[in-house]
Structure 1
């Protein structure tokens, strides 16, 4: 990586942690189920807040309310420490202790963020130091000695904002109400009753592609069995071939929906998008998003170069509606589901 920081601890920026941030962190943490989760949420919240303060100082707009780290459901379900930057994407803000030599990055956020900032927080929770950043994460432990400078972070975010502005300058906003077909009733899938167009996964994807791609970006929450294996009782998966009509022709992709019945009565839902045909990788900047019925984006992910798959995972309750949107440049596809 360029612009190394030596040990990654001597060229960062130190900022105070305001009382408001500590109060919010306590509120978010005190409702967590375990002591480990309490500490995780508290430190994640402080890291996000300090990064938010830094961005505000640098004139970079932020939106805490649209960050997964500010969503009570997402805080419980996953190890999230993201900061939403309007017009750019989500920046992950990972906390570390003052004695740390590496920074832990959960696999479930690899390739789902525009960058990863490392924030050192003192034991008294009074001050924090932004140590640096990396634009990619491909391993759980990132050595602090390999971090790039904060100046590089600003350049990186500026470049992303400019490139996204160019791409969207003449692009009409996708109409999320343009839903393909009727509402897909997922509860009927457990009865082996499938809607038209939904096929077995093996029909559309070969086992080699699935075995290579499925280890990619696995969450440590409600992990599914390997998709190449035989379905266990209570699990079901189906695939659909989608043809996105883009400017230079068409882009065929495969949407895979996996369901797992939970003992709590909820359904664990996993969405995966793979390239169809012989192409080993998805096109860059393909967006997979889950939307609430109102059209508000609940969670999303974007593909990057050499991505074999993008994936989202969440829990749904019986009767709950949601939309899935896949978008590439001006082309988009959307479908509505009910659990």
Structure 2
């Protein structure tokens, strides 16, 4: 298998690459990997450091919206996992154009090239945020999408494009939508690493609104295993949810992070809530469990402890990226 991974130097993509090249993902033993990554602020070749010398890795710096480059790469690959995306909601509120360019146009460029060159499998990686907020229960894969942030709207647009290429052209596209990820190598603009790095550095942390927003959390390793299962056996034209079954309010999560970092509530600053802030996300992941055998393997308490320890041990990695 020759696998093209977009966004493979980012948080989730680099985890997938590292695990694939260590033969730790189902069905990907011995895979040849090409990473295409623009190396924006959120991506770094250093994230691939542990596998950077592998003779099964080819790294190509570049933009998924560069049609000529994508076409050149696609012609020598038979499988694609598309992680590349602008993903930070706060940034999308003030700079939506780059989200539309990467998330929508970039996906269209990849789909066109995949169609031209007859790829065997194309997994488009998306998010639970495309559904908007749900007050109770959990979204199933057939629920209507109703995004509320510019980020979520551009991801919803890319999802619809990917599914349309299957329905119109028969392109073997599978879409995954995942809960909130956490784990090592996550950029400090995101909630868990931002709070951890700020607390370790002796700074305060900002809690939006009343902190009662609810999110489901899944370890990045579980997300990558679920993605690999979808690549291997997901049905074309279908959506699969990848959940963690660990719902927490932001305030509850903050309490866990304070405890893990040896800090008190006097380090928490309550700030005005984010515009359009969704109250609760929740995914029903029965489908991927029954069809593909997915099940989260990382216990949340253990995974969070390991994540906090990773940031303790890797200050040289996050210090240049720290967000106040």
TM-score (structure 2 length as normaliser):
0.30
- With a CA cutoff of 8 Å and minimum separation of 6, indicate the structure with the bigger relative contact order: 2
> Relative to total residues, which structure has the larger strand share, 1 or 2?
1
> Relative to total residues, which structure has the larger helix share, 1 or 2?
2
